[in-house]
Structure formats: C-alpha cells, structure tokens
Structure 1
Amino acid sequence: MADREGAIERAEAYSPFLKSAAALFPDIIATFRSEGPDAAVGAALAIHSDSIAEKLRRRRHALALAVALADLGGEGSLEWVTAALSDFADAAISEAVRTVILERMPDAVPEGIAIIALGKLGSRELNYSSDVDLIMLFDPDRLPRRPRDDPAEAAVRYGRRFVELMQQRTADGYVARVDLRLRPAPEVTPIVLPVGAAISYYESSALPWERAAFIRARAAAGDTALGQSFLDEIRPFIWRRAVDFGAIEEIREISLRIRDHYAQGQAFGPGYDLKRGRGGIREAEFFTQVVQLIHGGREIGLRSPATLDALRALASAGHLEPQVAAAIGVAYRALRTAEHRVQMIDDRQDHRLPGDARALDAVAKLHGMEDGPALVDWLRPHVEAVGAQFDSLISEREERLSNDPDILRKELTAMGFADVDEAYRRVQDWRSGRSRSLRSSAARAAFEQMLPNLMNAVGTGPDPVRALNRFSDVVDKLSSGVNLYRLLAARPRLADLLALILAHAPPLADQLGRRPTLLDGLIDESSFAPPPDANELAKRFLAVIDRDPFDIALDRIRRMVGERRFALGVQLLAAHRDPILIAEGYSDLAEAAIVALAEGVTREFARTHGTVPGGQLVILGLGRLGGRALTHASDLDLIYLFDAPEGAVSNANKPMPATDYYNRLASRIGAALGTPTAAGPLYEVDTRLRPQGAQGMLAVSLAAFEAYQRNEAWTWEHMALCRSRPLTGTNEAKAKVRDLVRAILRDSGDAATIRADAAKMREEMARHKPPAGALDIKLGEGGLVDLEFAVHILQLTNKTALDPRLEVAIEALVKAGLIDQGADADLRLLSRMLVVLRLVSTQGMEPAEESHELVARLCGFDEWDALVTAIDAARRRIASRWAKVRESE
C-alpha cells in the first residue's frame, strides 16, 4: 500500500540530503504527491538548462529525490529504483560523451568512442549513491579529431573532459563519480584505450577476476556499435565452454579474494559493512557469478548480468536449488534496500550501518522501522543465509592477509610496517597478477598461503621497504613462480628463511633480486651441508673448464661461485655453522675460483701467446684471503709473482719477454675475477699491495719481489706479508714462495724500528680512516686492527709464529709466552661479529635495533646486551695488548 505522505515526512525528518532536495525541487514533491513516482521521475528528467553541466546535475539531484520517495513509499521495487538510476546514468554519459566531442569538433559525427559499463551500472543495478565503473575505448580510424591531433592524445583529451563534466562538484552537485580503474593495467595505461589493444589484452593477458567483472559488462553509451563489437570479440574470454580443473581453481581463487574469514568476518550488528561484510551484498553477487561462470559457457541463458535475473535463471536451469536461489534473492533485496537507506541520509557512497546508535535509529526510521535494533534484527537472517551459501564455495581456508583495504592496512601496521602505504601498495601490486610469475591461479594460491608468514618477518626487520623491493625483484624476474611459491607454502621453514634474508641481509637479498633462481639451491638440505674445501671446489670448477668452451665455462663458474657464496650466507644467517667456519668457507671458495680461473685463463692465453719455458705464475693471497678469514663483503688482496729463467721469452710466433707475458696474463686473470657479467659480479680484486703499489708493474718476478721487500719495502708491507700465502702454481713453486716470504719476514729489521713504524702507521690510519661508529670492531680502539697490529709486531720482532692465519699465529705466540691465552678468544669473538655484520644490515658498523637479537644469537649470545658487554670487555683487553706491544722495549 502506497504511503506517499509518510515517505515525504520520513525523508524530511531523517535525511538531510532529501530535506534539502525537497526545498530545491518543490514541484517534484507536488508531482509525486498528486501523480505518483513515474510522473515525478518524468518531471525530474524534463528539467532543462542551456548549460549541459547544470542540466545534468539538476536532473540527477531531482531524480534522486523522486526515486527515494517512490522507494520509501513502497511504490518502487528494487528493480524499478535501480533501473531508473541506471537509465539516467546511461543517458547522462551519452550526452556527456557527445558534448565533449562536439565541443572540440562541432561539425563531426560523435562516433568512434565507446563507453563500456561494468559493475552495477553494467547490470542496470546502480545503487543510490554509486560510482559508475567504466571502460572507455576508441577506434583510431573513426574518432573525430583535428588534422594534427594524434588519435591516442585526442581520445585521452576527450576522456579527461568527460570525467570532469561528470564528476566535478558545483553548486548543483555532480552527475556521477567515474571510476576507470577496471580498465586493463590501469596503473600504466591511458584512461581511454584503443579498442584493438583492449581486445588483445583480454585475449592474452587478462586475469581471472576480470572474467567475473565482465559478466556485467554492457555497451552503455557513446558508440554502442563499437562497444558491442568489442564485447562480442572478448566473449570467449568471459564464457568458456569447457570447465576444467584450472578454471575451477581460478573461480576458487576469485572467491578467496572476496571472502576473508579472519578479516572480514566481523560480528554482525552496528557498523556492519553491507557490501563487503560476511554475508553481504558482494557475497550474494559473487556466489551467483561463480555459478554463472561454471555453467554459462555452455548455456547462454545463464548469462544475465543482473543478480536477481541470474538467480532465477540458475534455479530454472537446475543449477541452484529453488529455495537457495529464493533465499539469496530475498536477502539481496533486503541488503540493497538497507544500503540505499544508508546512502539517502547524506548522498554519500557509504555501505556501513552506522555504529552510532542515534545515526542507526535515523536509518531505521527513514525505512519506517521503530529503531536501529529492529533494522539489525530484520537484516540478520538474510546476512546469515548469504554467508552460509558463500561458505560452500570455499571448503578449506588457510590464513591469508585481508583483501579489504582498511583491514589489510591494520594488519600491516600490526606486523610492524612503518610505511604502511608502501607495504599495502606492494601487496596489491602482487595480487594484481601482472607479474608473469603470478599469472596462474595455482601460483597465486600458493603465494597467498605463504605471504602472511613472509610479511610478518619482513615487517619486523630493519628495512622493510627495501626488503619488499628486493622481493618484488624476485617476483618480477621469475618466469614461472608456481613451483617456488608452492615450495614456500609447503615448507614454512623455507619461507621463514626467505623472510630472514629479505629482512636482515641486504647483500643476499640483492643477489636474489638479480638471480631469483638462487632460491632453488635451498630446496633440500644439501645447501646446508658443510662446504667442500678449496682443493675439491677447484677440481669441480676445472672440470667445467675441461668440458665447456672457455667463455661458457667462465660464466658457469661465476654462477657456481655466486650460488656457493649465497649458500654460505644463508648458512650463516640460519645459524647452521659458526661464523668462523663460514669465513673459512668464503676463503676456500675464493681460492678455488682463483685457482680454476687462473688455470683456464692461462690455457686460453697460451693458445695465442704460447708459454714461457721453465716459467710459471704464482698468485699470492694476502689479508683476509691469506688468513682464510674472508667475509661476504671482502675483496681479494692479490700479488702476482712469476718465476722464470733470466731472459726467458714466450715460445709463440711473436715472442714476448717473460715480464710482458706475465703482466698481460695477470691482467686477464684479474678481469676474469673482477669484471661483472650477466652472471653478476664475482669479486673485487685489490692489487695495491704489490711492490711500488699502484705505480708498480702488475706482475713482478720473484727476484724483483725479493729485492724490493729486502731493500725498499716499508714495515707495513712486511706486516701485510705476515698474512700471505701462495694460491696457484706447482707445489714446488708455492713452497719456494712460502720459504722466500718467511725469510724476508725473519730479516725484516730491528724491533725498535718495527714498533715505531707500526705505532706511527696506526696513528695515521686512525686519522685518515676513523671508526664508522662506536661499535666499529675493526677500526675502533681495541678492534681487530689493533689486535692484528699487535700480533704482526710480535711476529716480526720475535721472528716466530709466521703463519698467515691469525689464530694459528696467536697459538704459537701463546706457547712462546709472548701473548696471553685470552687473545684467541677475543679474536674469535670479534671475527664472528665482523662476519655477521658484513651480512646483516648495519649503519656505522652497528646493526639496526630490529637485527640485534639475530646478531647476538649468531655470535653465540642469548641477548644483545650480553654480546655488547662481551665485545666491550674484549676490546679493552685488546687495547691493553696493543699498548703493551707498542711500548715494550
């Protein structure tokens, strides 16, 4: 029974928007009162103005009043209301498109630009205060444009003007808010697309959720013939005749995007989201669309875009039980009606029941109910009915991050992300499926399963944004991610490890960004096995050189070294091995690479330049390489020495003196070790410790080396030799070099001069290379440099303990009574710390607070404060040792 007076009274009493509209359009009120809703709608649509913008806005405002009164008075069904709103939107869009074309081309036929409506406008179910979801397409051959206008630029110009005409707010309000984000790749594409490019996208690159969106697509305005031909072309994308397992998985994935048990299953009541909440409008629509997608490819009659029509068709065809279809239909009407009441209050695109009791009462009374609780009680069974049916789409539900933007942001905040917007943008970008590795539904399902664990770990790390950037590199560079994501989903421990890398170890994360396939090496426990020694690794690398052409072998060895370095870093980060052993592993790996690449380069060099009879190259490793104490970030300190008969030349067609030969050979080896390739960088090589430093020849003869070291070298150069060892050459040649180095060190000068020179050099180092921060355990007072200086002075002044490994040298010095027994423990503690810090994100040699616990654990301590206390004590002892050694007579 119509209640026109009651509708008018409730509108003016409980809706500020309708009250002001009634004051602006009293003729609409009078027409509705005397002639009814159809006449009132007709009067609203007859409003005229010379300004298109003013006319459309006034019509829309008056129509909103007429439709609301019909709805509130019980004279307009849900279908009547949504059709009236949708028809006006169609007409307004058509007139706006025509206007923008004729503004620029007054004599043109307004054609060549089509408006595809999706969402509720596409199904002619527009709600009371809704956006219009549109895709704008153009035909470059038919679009009206000026002679010098580029078709694409002209189309975008029309599109911008169209959006402005539709949604710019004036004193008369707006026509409709326009949402163009459902177009292909909206973040990178123009707002108006060539129709051919759009067809190509939907034929080759479109995503599963877009199938569901296009169920409600309609050529709504503009050049509708162009729009319809586009929809005809992409129909096979939407409606697939064969429904296989992959299609079902796609549908299930779309369902998971709508339903989030943990985030959107809010308690029903005040504040409930009528659109997105569990059992809400979206679930009713999507439940219907899922069944349509399954069967509509073979049954054209099931393709109705409107939800209520589709429910009737599915029940009639036997694909839904009649009582189920009826229950969802009744619930859909109730939910949409309640949504309209909420939006009538202030003409806002709001979908939530008010949380405030007074505001909820106003919505209820506008509808004709006593109060808010009565409205909630009316909706409750409908929400439960829809929710139960939607549950049936998802038999199992793993924990996932929410799909609701507001809830997802809250989840990311709880995970520790300071820059929530950036983290949210990353998640949405991954979920868009635009990366090749996330195109398949199986990949996305596995990705979603492992994502919460990954994001939790990243969010508590020291640099979450950088970690997300590195992970995005991995996601983008994988050609197919399904196996990796399944692996990470199936093995949470591996996902934890990946998160640990991304959150705390930038060097490893950077490696992953360049080569995502490095993760393949973590699949089984072999990646955590003890690394082979240098000799075994060199044999493996040499086998590659023996098997493959040299350029291919070189690239392959680079990759193998990169994989090994990555695995060692992961072993360290995962606490699988003592950092001291990891340092030895890094050193053995570098030694093996030097041995194999030197051999390979030497063979290739000999093909063109022959060999030097009786000669050979010996590469001397110094510093951390010489002492088998490399870190992930260490460069390689090398000296190239050659031993050849006096006056020797190469035996090639164009003979070279041995000096030229070995210098050119050394340069080639250095390039093989240090030049970046597609496989990534290998090592930074530093040869400045050679005689005469950067001014000297790259490779020197043993005789010249001995003469320089005995007659010209500074004390610091002899100190550097204390940590040297030959890496290449025959056993005899390496023994000869070792004996020569020891002889030089035993004859290195008087003790007072050595101590004075070392003390002066340490002071110079402190001035020119100060500590990076209070925790700089290398350069700071009582750090590793002070300990190294103390050990080297004791070695040189006492002519003993001449082993390149500091721990071995210290053991010998302890036995000789030259240093206290605690020196070894202090060396190991600081060395562990250095190895860890070279892998974990630091600033000023101090890890970020988020990494404190990890660093402490890797160094063998339960907590950060205990580690710092131990480090401070060790540094005090080292400073005391250095002072004692420096000042002793």
Structure 2
Amino acid sequence: MTSRRPSTMRLSGLKRAPLVPFSNGAERDALADLVEAAEDRPALARRLSKPGAAERFLGTACSLSPFLLETARTGPDIVERVLDEPLDAILDDLEAAARSAWLSGGGPVDEARVMAELRRVKKATAFVLALADLGGLMDTQTVTARLSELAEACLSACVDHLLRAAHDAGKVVLPDPDRPSAGSGLVVIGMGKLGAGELNYSSDIDVIVLYDPDAGIVADPVEAGETFARMVRRLVRIMQERTAGGYVFRTDLRLRPDPGSTPLAISLDAALNYYEGRGQNWERAAFIKARAVAGDREAGKRFLAELRPFVFRKYLDYAAIADIHSIKRQIHAHRGHGEIAVAGHNVKLGRGGIREIEFFVQTQQLIAGGRMPELRVRRTDEALSALIQAGWISEETAEDMRRAYWYLRSVEHRIQMVRDEQSHTLPEDPEELQRIALMCGAKDVEAFSSEIETTLQTVERHYASLFEQEKGLGSDTGNLVFTGEENDPDTIETLKALGFERPDAVSKVIRTWHYGRYRATRSVEARERLTELTPRLLAAFGATRRADEAILRFDAFLAGLPAGIQLFSLLGNNPGLMSLTVTIMAAAPRLAAIIARRPHVFDGLLDPALLADLPSREEIAGRIAEFVDPDLTYEEVLDRLRIVAAEQKFLIGVRLLSRAIDPRRAAEAQSDLADCVITAALDAVIRQIEGVHGRVADGRVAVLGLGKLGSRELTAGSDIDVILLYDHAPGYEESDGEKPIDPVRYYTRLTQRLVAALSAPTAEGVLYEVDLRLRPSGNKGPVATSLSAFDTYQNRDAWIWEHMALSRARFVAGDRDLGERAEAIVATVLERERTPGAVADEVRGMRGLIEQEKPPYGIWDLKLVPGGLIDIEFVAQYLALTAPDPDGPGRGRPTGTVAQIEAYGPAVIGNEATETLVAAHAFYTTISQLVRLCIEGAFEPDEAPAGLIDLLGHACEAQNVRELEGRIEEHCCAVRAVFVEAIGEPDADAGSLP
C-alpha cells in the first residue's frame, strides 16, 4: 500500500483556503447549517460561528458537496474530531474499529450491531478522506489505498462474524474460534480496484468467494457448498443493504466463474478447473489485480499462485489484445461515447479515460507477464514503472499515463463526493460542472476543461499507439469484397491499384482464407480477425515489388499453420511486426518456412529488446539450459534443443533482416549459438553414453571447431567442421558401466552419437550438418582422436593444407582444460618455422585444383569464384602459417579470417593489400549472410525473390543487380591480384591434395 504521511496531517494546519466556495455566501450558509445541527454541542457551535481557516475550509467543502454537508450535520462527533485531531490517526482508529466490529468486550456481537458499526465507520471514513483529499493533505494514491484498506477491514469483520456465528450454531467447526478466518478455507478474493488497493470514493467492490472443502470445517462435504453460499448471501446483505445508517460497500459477485449458473461460493478446485479449461482473456486481465483480502488468506494466496499460469502465459500472448480491445469498443458502442468532450464525458469509460489507461497497462502485462515476472504487479502506477524497466514503454509515456491516471481518478472522486453516487460522468449542467471544477481546484470551468481535455487526448494518443484501430482502406482506395464465387470488379481494380499484377489470383487466394479451407481459418473467430486484418495486409504486400509472389508465399505459410487466432491477433495489433512479416514473405522464403513450421518463433519478435540487444553466449546458454531440462529423456532433450536452436537462429536472422545487427555480428551470433548447441548436445550424449557404458577413468572430451565455426563466420545455412578429442587415465582397458567397452570404442561411439544428435533429421528438423573430414587422416582416420595421437599427427604427419585448416581451430565445447591443451598443441604447430615459398607452392596447388574440380557456377558463387572468399581465406591461412606473431610466440593467434589478415597482413603484403582483402571480405559476408538467411541453394538473380534483391541492394549500396554484379567483379579482380602478388598464380600442377 501507499506510504502514509506522518500524524501532523491536520485541518488546523491549513494556512489558506484550498477551495473556492460554490457561490457567494455558500460557505457561510453551510457553516450556519452545521451550527444549527450542533445545538447540543455548544463548544462546537461557538467554534463554527467564529470560523478560522480550518472551519472555513470545512464550510467550503460542505458547500460543494451535499453528501459531506449531510454527513457533518448528522455526525457532529466526527466534525469535532477532524477539527482537533490528526486525520491519519482518526483513519487508523476507524479502520481498527471496522476490523473488530464483530467483537465487543472480547466476545462476538449480533449481526445488527456489526451492520451498524460498519456503516458508522464507513461514513466517518468517507468524510475524513474527502476533507484530506480536497484540502490537499492526502494525495489520490493514499486516498485509494485507505479506501481499499477500509473495505478489506469491513470484509474481514463480516467473514469473521459469519464464521463465528456458524461455529456457535454448530454448522461449522473452526480450528480457532477466536480467529475465525484462520485455517477456515473460506477465501474472499478482491478483484479490480479492491485487489489493487485503488478503490474509488464511492466504488462497488468486486469479490469472488471460494472455499476449500478439504479444510474440514463442514462435517459433511456435500453440504459445504450450500453452507458457504448462505454465508455469502448474508455477507452481501451486511455490506450493501441500505439502512438508516446508509450502506458499507455495494458488493458485486459477477466476476466469479460463469456467474449465471454457479453458486455464490465456489470450491477452489471447481474454480481452477473452470479457469484452466474455459477461462476467457477478460478474466485473465481481471486476475492481474486479484488479491486475497479476507478470510483464509493463506489459502487464497495458494489459489492465486496455482492460477498464475492461466493469467500469465509462458509465451508472449498477443491473442488477448484483440479481446481486450473489443471490450473497449463494446463499451464505447454501448455507452455512446464518441469524441472527447468535457460536459457529459465519462472519465472512466470514455475516450482517453481511466479504462484506457488500465487496458494500456493490463494488455502489456498479459502479453509479457509470462516471461517477465516483474510485470506481475497489481497497482496501475507500479505496473507503469515495471513496463519502463522491462523496456516496453518510455519514461515519457509512463509519466504521461501516470499523471493522467491519478488526475482522472481525483476528478472521478470529486464527481462521487458530491452525492456519494457511483458516477464517473462529468455533469452536463453548467452549474454542476462548475462545482466539479472548483472541487478540483480550478479557477473556473474553462481552465478545468482545458486541463481535462489535454489529459484525455494524451491518454487517447498513447492508447491508440498500442491498440491501433481497425481501419479499412477507405473509400478513396476502393472496394475490397471477397464474398461469393465470382470476383468483385471493383475489388479487382482496387487490387491493381494496390500493386498486384494478378488481382484475380490474389482475390481467389483471399476467398480461400475467408472460406476456412485452411486449419488456421476454420474457426469463426480466426476468420473474423483475419477479415479485419486483410485490408492492411493487402496494402503492406502491395507496396512490395512482386507483390503477388509475396502474398502467395504468405498464403503458403497460412496453409501450413495449425491455428491462426494468435497470429492474426498479433499481426493486427503490432504494425512493426506486420511490416517485418511482409519483409520475410517478400524476401526470405527460408525464414517463411521456419515460421510456418514453428509459429512460436513469433514470441521472440514481441520482445522490445529484440532489435536493441543481441544475447551474449552466456545468455544463449542460459536460455538453452532453461528450456532443455536434463531430466528429460534423451530424445526429448534433443527435440527441445532443436526447438530452441531454431528459434534463436530465426531471431538472429530477423535482426539481420531488419538491420538491427550487421552481417559480421550475425556471423558471430550464429557461431556463439552453435557453440552453445554443441555444448548442450555433447552433455546429453555423455549422459546417455554413461547411462549404458559408464565412465572411462579420468575420461574427458573436447570439441574443436574449424572452418567457419572456428573463425566465427557461420551463416544461417553453414555446416560445422569439428574434431572430437579425448583423453583418459592410462592403463584402463574398459569403462565401468553395465556394458563396459574399451576407450577407443567408447569415444568412437560418443562421437558418432554426437554427430547424430546434431545432424539426424527429426520431427523438429536438423540442428547442423556436421563435417568430420578435417580430423587427423581425414575420412581414413578414426572419428575420435586421443589428444596424444592428435599431437603426434599434427607434428609429424599432417599436410600443409591441414595446418592451414588448423589455423582456424578453437575450443568450442567439452572439458575446458583438455580444450586448452589442444589449443596449445595447435599454437605450437602454427608457430613452427616454415619456408614461405614452400607454403605458397602448396597453396597455389590447392587453389588451382579446386578451380579445376569445383569451378564456380557463376559470379554469385562468392566462395569459389576467382578472387572470392576462398582466395581471401587462403591468403589469411598462408599468413597465419608464415608470418611471425606480432605479439610473440605463445600469446594466442587469431582464428578469424579478417583478424588474421589484419594481424599479419600489413607486415607481409602491405597496408593497401590488407585493406583490399578486408573490404572484400566484408562485402562478400554481407551478401552471403543475407542470401543464406533468405533462400536455400544457389542464388540466381532472375529467380530470387524481389525483396531479397532489394535487401542486397540496400545493404551493398547498389541501385540494381547490374551494379551489384559490377561491384562483385571489382572486388574479385582486386582480391585475385593480391592473391597472385602474395602467393602466385593458382596452378593445379604445382601441388596436390592427398
């Protein structure tokens, strides 16, 4: 709850009148009424007859509020107290009196006395809070918290009274009759503003009453439902029946599960079953603020904890946003609230009102609360702060909404203070509107109107940015009708105008959607949401080149979806995501296929940090560890690993596609992901092997990455080159498991399992194609190599080309100590003195042989084309083998291609040649990363998606394909010239590969 002011909060402390009387003489008339009512209290009458600042303020407040005037007339004792005592101390006393209203002299009292005491307390509390509020002694946050605490105290007193009365009558047996609620299993859940601690001045209270049959206070469980239902009926009567003393709180039970057919009190199990099976999105939103407020609070807390997965879904949930927005539209339609006005405007339900702020907050809590526990807060202002911290909204937006929320709540309170009515509507009568303006401290109606209009417009602006109104394309664009069997002529013209070349085919596709011929469009709700979305989809696709191709790709995506409501809701309420989806369909069929197979990858796109932050290797490893539970079966672990890896690959690709990261960072991210995936797969394989064959004494394994994995240059479709090394204590011939095997077979089997784990196709796809050909002796050698054998081979038997490949080797998974020992062996091999001419001869021979045996298919074959990536990599590897380490031996040599060129190039080939290679590598990397991300197979400009051509042109600053090809040719010529200058002309006869 809100922190309270110290006990110096006194009306006598007012130095000036914070309010203007309703009219000339109104303050005097109100005080005269109070003097007359205090005829039996001469001291009070004299004080009011010669008013000071506090008395004049009291008279002004009563002149503005008939309710306050009547309360003061009928309750002179509370008038005396507010003039003499600290207001917060009075409130503390009243709350304590409410909480103990069921007791008198240490024992329970009858129901009539409970009702009378609660009404006295409520009326007095309302009077004190109104004066504290109007006098500026208490802010609106504190007022709402105090009202909520009072309601909670009243409900607690009612429940204690009812339980003790039932106990005394022999209907129930309480564990502790002196503390009736403790362990009773009877729970009162406060919903809405009561749950959040934000009650209105004249608010209803929304509650759900539940009971736990297992608490055992009812002898016959069959009778529990009726027993507790009778208690609830009496609770409602105590709280809201109007008597001579008024009422306590109007009590609403309509938020309980299926209120038209369920009793007033429901068992905890029945409630859980309902919410888990039939619960609606609006109920999820309602439970964001839910809190156990009376009865057995511990049981209530347990219930809400069990319900948390229903309220906050594991996956980011945009399906809820359409439901919430539809409720908002229904409110507007039902209440007739149109444009923002002041007179007659509903500050709660009208445009720009309190409900829009609440929906703005709650929908974002529903969307992300499953993954972000910090968003699971009840109070609206606290939720705004949490949304800032989570990166969902800016500080400016939060401050605008927070200021508007509490201002509108203060206006709402003043509307209700006038006559203690549960109204949220500003008066249309000019005099009554002036009354509200004066109670708000405004100098006149014009100033008040200006402030409230600005506030409402601010809220509406922020609300609209989240809940984009469904808009058709409008009459200026033309018809979009897709009913019947024949094409609508005006619709065909509209589609042409939007940019579609085959409007007849497009119209047929969209009719297919609306007829529910795909699984994703079979439900009525899915079709309705897609119908609302279609105009904006068509406009977005029409704006792309080859719009027909893009929308047909989207159609293929829809055809494979198992369900569509979530996706359609998500696209309809997130314009940025719709734009990104259109880009994917227009440019990246490979990504389109991924989202067709795995719709949940969309969840990651809703994270506000997606385009700002690239997860580190440690964060990726954490996400894998969170999702891949080692206690699952081996097959389940591998399937989950494929799911999370596919999602992360997709999200890296989306960042690249949206230019949030550059191609170099994409390559590093793909490599970090591969490291983490290999590590997780290796752990799973080791557990599985150990479960069957046990362990080899002191056995350890390490995986070295080579090729693009080793140089951290992976693309979305790269294979991974690895070597698995092992070591173990000498002298042991077998593992120690149920089925012991010798170490060679043990680690051979482990390697084979690892390769299968990474590359075997399953229902969840393939992680990576694995290449072991760079291991010692290539395909002729064992798949697993002991560290000593690796050392011997590399120092005695390896070919030059194998040492070139080794220049990109790095430890990626397994035992770090063993990996570092392997890296030390590699460093020793690479630091060996070599004759540059001999190495150049080998490189020329290998390059020439590759040109003979694997010629490029064209200029877009950036790897094999003369002057392409292989030339750059060979120069880098040549430098790594021949150039002295500028930092001295043993200082660690770079494995990345560019890093090697930049480290060794200036001293060997010169600065200009170094810059040529680095620039060309960056250019080739940009193209390769985008092409491998967007399509499978070879890139042919005439067959490539138009969107991909546009992406490449933008990324490479080229106007068209011809200019792109010209740039490639320039780089190829420059790179080949550097290659020839440094190493010589490739010659297939100058050397050979084994």
TM-score of the pair, normalised by structure 2: 0.47
Q: Secondary structure of the equivalent of 1:700?
A: strand
Q: Partner residue of 2:585? A: 502
Partner of 1:881: 978
Q: CA deviation at 1:874?
A: 2.9
Counterpart selection for 2:655 from 571, 586, 604: 571
**Is this contact kept in 1: 2:561–2:596, CA < 8 A?**
no
For each residue in 1:606-661, what CA deviation from the matched residue of structure 2 results, as whole angstroms up to 9, or x when unmatched?
A: 11111111221111111111111111111111111112244433222443221111
**Quick one: structure 1 residues 401 and 843, their matched pair in 2 at CA, closer, same or farther if it must change by over 3 Å?**
farther
Among the aligned pairs, what percent are the same residue?
A: 33
Q: Find the residue that maps to 2:933 and give its secondary structure.
A: coil
What is the match of residue 522 of structure 2? 439
The one-letter amino acid paired with 2:654 is V
Structure 1: give runs of 5+ residues left out of the alignment. Answer: 1-244, 253-394
Shift of 1:441: 4.2
In the alignment, what sits opposite 1:451? 534
CA distance in 2, matches of 1:819, 1:593: 39
Give the match for residue 521 of structure 1. 604
Q: Which residue of 1 aligns with 2:901?
A: 810
Match of 2:408 in 1: none
1:774 and 1:494, CA in 2 relative to 1: closer, same or farther beyond 3 A? same
Q: Which moved more, 1:729-738 or 1:644-653?
A: 644-653
Taking a change above 3 Å as real, the CA distance of residues 840 and 413 of structure 1, as seen in their structure-2 partners, is: farther
2:728 maps to a residue whose letter is A
Match for residue 583 of structure 1?
A: 667
Greater alpha carbon shift after TM alignment, 560-569 vs 456-465: 456-465
Letter in 1 for 2:979: W
CA deviation map 1:766-808 (0-9, x unaligned):
1222223223322212111111111111211225374211222
Q: Deviation at 1:421?
A: 5.2
Q: 1:728 is paired with a residue of what secondary structure?
A: strand
- Distance across 2 between alignment mates of 1:627 and 1:573: 22
Mapping for residues 651-800 of structure 1, pairs under 5 Å: 651-747=736-832, 749-800=834-885
- Whether the 8 Å CA contact 1:545–1:600 is kept in 2: the answer is no
Q: Does 1:831 align with 2:922?
A: no
> Structure 2 CA distance, aligned partners of 1:610 and 1:578?
46
**Equivalent residue for 1:536, pick from 597, 602, 619:** 619
CA distance in 2, matches of 1:509, 1:849: 15
Code of the aligned partner of 1:878: V
The answer to whether the 8 A contact 1:398-1:449 is kept is no
For this pair of structures, how many residues does the alignment match? Answer: 500
CA contact (8 A) 1:471 1:502 kept: yes
Matches within 5 A, 1:837-856: 837-841=931-935, 844=939, 846=941, 847=944, 850-856=947-953
Deviations 1:569-613 (A, max 9, x none): 111111111111111111101110001110121122111111111
Q: Per-residue displacement from partner, 1:311-347 (whole Å, max 9, x unpaired)?
A: xxxxxxxxxxxxxxxxxxxxxxxxxxxxxxxxxxxxx
Aligned-pair distance for 1:505?
0.6
**Residue 206 of structure 1: aligned partner:** none
Question: Which residues in structure 2 correspond to 1:318-467 (within 5 Å)?
Answer: 397-399=472-474, 401-403=480-482, 404-414=487-497, 417=500, 422-455=505-538, 458=541, 467=550
Give 1:713's aligned amino acid: A
Q: What is the alpha-carbon distance in structure 1 between the residues aligned to residue 779 and residue 963 of structure 2? A: 44
Aligned CA distance change for structure 1 residues 653 and 474 (closer, same or farther; 3 Å): same
Question: What is the aligned partner in structure 1 of residue 116 from structure 2?
Answer: none
Structure 2, unmatched stretches of 5+, are 1-321, 330-469, 887-892, 987-994
Q: Contact 2:859–2:968 at 8 Å: present in 1 too?
A: no
The amino acid of 2:869's aligned partner reads: L
Distance, in Å, in 2 between the alignment partners of 1:816 and 1:741 is 23
CA separation of 1:630/1:488 partners in 2, compared to 1, >3 Å: closer, same or farther?
same
- Flag the 1:799–1:599 CA change in 2: closer, same or farther, 3 A: farther
**Distance in 1 separating the partners of 2:566 and 2:820:** 51
1:520 counterpart letter in structure 2: D
Report Cα offsets for 1:134-157 as digits up to 9, x if no partner: xxxxxxxxxxxxxxxxxxxxxxxx
Over 3 Å counting, the alpha-carbon distance change for 1:658 and 1:447 in structure 2 is same
Q: Look up the equivalent residue of 1:693 and give its one-letter code.
A: G
| Equivalent residue, structure 2, for 1:231 | none
Measured in 2, the distance between the counterparts of 1:459 and 1:762 equals 47
Relative to structure 1, the CA distance from residue 724 to residue 398 in structure 2 (aligned partners, 3 Å threshold; closer, same or farther) is same
Q: Which residue of structure 1 aligns with residue 10 of structure 2?
A: none
Amino acid at match of 1:630: L
Q: 1:830: how far off?
A: 1.8
Letter of the aligned partner of 1:498 in structure 2? T
Residues 888 and 552 of structure 1: is their aligned pair in 2 closer, same or farther, counting only changes over 3 Å? closer
Q: Is the 8 Å Cα contact of residues 480 and 494 (structure 2) preserved in structure 1? A: yes
Separation (CA, whole Å) in 1 of partners of 2:908 and 2:844: 22
How far apart are 1:516 and its partner, in Å?
A: 2.3
Is 1:647–1:658's contact at 8 Å kept on the other side of the alignment?
Answer: no
1:605 aligns with 2:659: no
Per the alignment, in what secondary structure is the counterpart of residue 934 of structure 2?
A: coil
Do 1:622 and 1:723's aligned partners in 2 also have CA atoms closer than 8 Å? Answer: yes
Displacement, 1:492?
A: 2.3
* AA at the equivalent of 2:625: L
Aligned AA (1:827): H
- Matched with 2:467 is none
Q: Deviations over 1:672-723 (max 9, x none)?
A: 1111222222211111222232232211112222333333333222211111
In 2, Cα distance between equivalents of 1:497 and 1:545: 32
Residues 869 and 632 (structure 1), Cα distance of their counterparts in 2 relative to 1, 3 Å cut: same
Q: Would you say the 8 A contact 2:693–2:737 is kept in 1?
A: yes
Deviation at 1:727, TM superposition (A): 1.1
Whole-Å separation in 1 of the counterparts to 2:816 and 2:957: 39
Cα distance in 1 for residues equivalent to 2:651 and 2:668: 14
What secondary structure sits across from 2:670 in the alignment? helix
Partner of 1:491: 574
Contact 1:674–1:685 (Cα < 8 Å) also in 2: yes
Q: In the superposition, relative to structure 1, how do residues 697 and 456 fare at CA in structure 2: closer, same or farther (>3 Å)?
A: farther
> In the alignment, is the contact (CA less than 8 A) between 1:462 and 1:851 conserved in 2?
no
Instruction: Give the match for residue 560 of structure 1.
Output: 644
Could you list the per-position Cα deviations for residues 428-449 of structure 1 after superposition, in whole angstroms to 9, with x for gaps in the alignment? 2112123232234443243234
- Write the distance in 2 (CA, Å) between the matches of 1:623 and 1:660: 27
Residues in 2 aligned to 1:850 and 1:551: alpha-carbon distance in whole angstroms: 38
Give, in whole Å, the separation in 1 of the partners of 2:938 and 2:926.
18
Structure 1-normalised TM-score? 0.52
2:213 equivalent in structure 1: none
Amino acid at match of 2:807: C
Q: Is the 8 A contact 2:473 2:535 kept in 1?
A: no
